[in-house]
Amino acid sequence: MEYRDLGRTGKKASIIGLGCEHLDGKPYEQIRETIDAAIAGGVNILDVFMPGEEVRKNIRKALGSRLRDVMIQGHIGSTNVGQQYDISRDLPTVRKYFEDMLRIYDGYIDFGMMFFIDSEEGYKGVFETGFIDYVRGLKEKGDIGHIGFSAHNPVTAARVVNTGLVDVMLFSINMAFDLYPAEKHVLDSLEEGINPGLFHGIDPKRAELYRLCEQKGVGITVMKTLGAGKLLSAQHTPFGKPMTAAQCIHYALSRPAVASTLLGCQTAQQMQDALSYLSLDEAQRDYADILNTASKEFRGSCVYCNHCQPCPSEIDIAAVNKYLDIARLDPGHIPPSVKSHYQALAHQGDECIRCGSCEERCPFGVEIMENMAEADRLLG
Ligand code: SF4
Ligand code: SF4
């Protein structure tokens, strides 16, 4: 397993985690086997957004003495008042459900995630009511380790990140969603079918959100990595051909600030299949061709696909471009953490010998040699 820094939390998350949604309603034995397979594979982060008491208890029971070997994302405002998943901002209701969760998980949840902030109304319901005071109180009391939130809308999510109150963001990331305009509600596309007619290059609001998170030290965990399975399906794919799970995982993990993809496995076998990503090589993970056929509007922008490798100077070109893109957000105020991450790379932009071979391989026409020089100027 590979572990990555989860923003400024000081925690390291496994790059593959377990989203427990599909364990809801499953027999205890199946839940235990799935969690055993996850932990055996090195998974150390689980998302438990479900409000139901039975599934929460079954996951807790399956973890047993290993509870503190993993980190739990628990959601504040996730309820099932109407016998189905629901969002609540009503404090007594919110309290009841979250305090139930705290009780089941021995009084501590690593990441207290403010549930589903996706609109102006959702933002106000959290930040202009007692909701946020309740969440801050949980942090002050030590009931939660960090404040986070979940979202699908990049504009609202950027607003939340800019409050400076959150350390973690659970966001829906996959190639199809990234190609959708920011104003399109992506969850609708899972119901209606993903419409490739709306693809216009990677949406700038989404790209900016990921860079903003990196800049602010907010770690991203990913949901909907596989587009609810649609991206893998020959029938439903919006691209010329289905993606593989490895390509989807790799795409999400290549976005700035992403620490972990939380996959919605419901059996031990599915968990093991997801973990097989770890043993694949770059060519098997490469998503550049699919992206290139989806839209022609990428020219000049790095999509962090690694298609340009190998570099004779062993520069991780995608990583250099990623830090450069973050630096370009506000060149006069580059966060020290971004500079130190850049400087920690084994090989930096100044080692480019301008051989040009990467530019021949890049399908997206990125001016890599210029970027290496600029990265050195801004970050070296
Ligand atoms: S420079 Fe081109 S090939 Fe290299 S990671 Fe960026 S988009 Fe991919
Ligand atoms: S041009 Fe520079 S970055 Fe590109 S492959 Fe050659 S040395 Fe590496």
Nearest-ligand number for the alpha carbon of 354: 2
CA pseudo-torsion sign 226, 230, 235, 239: negative
- E strands present in the chain: 3-5, 12-14, 16-19, 45-48, 71-76, 78-79, 86-87, 109-114, 144-151, 168-172, 219-223, 258-263
Instruction: Give me ligand 2 centre to Cα 367, in Å.
Output: 11
Bridge partners (DSSP) listed for residue 3: 14
Domains of the chain: 3-292 (3.20.20.100), 317-379 (no CATH)
Pocket of ligand 1 (CB under 6 A): 288, 302-308, 317-318, 321, 362, 364, 366, 368
18 and 42 Cβ atoms separated by less than 8 Å = no
Nearest-ligand number for the alpha carbon of 306: 1
pLDDT digits 0-9 by tens, 106-126: 999 999 999 999 999 999 999
3-state secondary structure (DSSP) of residue 340: helix
pLDDT at 238: 85
Structure tokens belonging to residue 161: 């990140």
Binned at pLDDT 50, 70 and 90, residue 83 comes out as: low
Nearest-ligand number for the alpha carbon of 353: 2
pLDDT at 356: 95
How far is the CA of 275 from the CAs of 40, 112, 160, 170, in angstroms? 10, 26, 32, 20
CA gap 370, 100 in Å, rounded: 55
pTM of the predicted structure, to 2 decimals: 0.89
Give the atom of ligand 1 at the shortest distance from the alpha carbon of 303.
7
Mutation test of ligand 1: which of 306, 362, 374 has the most ligand atoms closer than 8 Å to its C-beta?
362
**pLDDT score of 221 more than 90:** yes
Which residue's CA is the nearest one to ligand 1's atom 6?
302
Give the atom of ligand 1 at the shortest distance from the alpha carbon of 301.
7
59 and 302 Cβ atoms separated by less than 8 Å = no
Query: Is 310 touching ligand 2 by the criterion CB < 6 Å?
Result: no
pLDDT digits 0-9 by tens, 252-301: 999 999 999 999 999 999 999 999 999 999 999 999 888 877 766 667 78
